[in-house]
């Protein structure tokens, strides 16, 4: 097994329920941890046997930048669901930070994790 970590992925998003948040993009910061079986990849060293982290990153960027959620919890859940669509993913953890969401704080984040049964 391998753990792939995607760190500090910054994406503009419509997130929040305040009027200005519904029209102005804000940056959210994603951190992902994706556990996958890499036995075929290490035995063959072929590109077609890997879990392509570039592909999932592009899908996440597209999804988040086009999304329009009120709640950070819902956005985090939907990104986690997107990651888990690939059957090779055994476990995934997604954390999304919303910088500047609270006064006197760098950010607020929501983290969700799931394991394939």
Domain locations along the chain:
2-115
Contact 92, 31 (CB under 8 A): no
Q: Copy the structure tokens of residue 87.
A: 């059957």
If you count them, how many residues does the chain have? 117
Task: Specify the fold of 2-115.
Answer: GTP Cyclohydrolase I, domain 2 (3.30.1130)
pLDDT, tens only, 51-67: 899 999 999 999 999 99
Instruction: Determine the Cα–Cα distance for residues 59 and 8; give it in Å rounded to an integer.
Output: 16
pLDDT value at residue 43? 81
pLDDT value at residue 117? 87
Full-model pTM: 0.92
Percent of the chain with pLDDT over 90: 82
Mean pLDDT of 7-13: 98
């Amino acid at each position: 097994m391998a753990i792939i970590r995607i760190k500090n992925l910054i994406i503009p998003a419509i997130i929040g329920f305040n009027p200005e948040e519904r029209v102005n993009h804000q940056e959210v910061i994603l951190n992902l941890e994706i556990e996958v079986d890499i036995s075929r990849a290490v035995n063959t060293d072929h590109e077609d046997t890997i879990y392509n982290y570039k592909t999932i990153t592009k899908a996440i960027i597209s999804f988040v930048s086009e999304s329009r959620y009120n709640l950070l919890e819902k956005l985090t859940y939907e990104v986690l669901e997107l990651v888990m669509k690939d059957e090779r993913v055994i476990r995934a953890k997604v954390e999304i930070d919303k910088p500047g969401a609270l006064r006197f704080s760098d950010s607020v984040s929501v983290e969700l994790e799931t394991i394939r049964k």
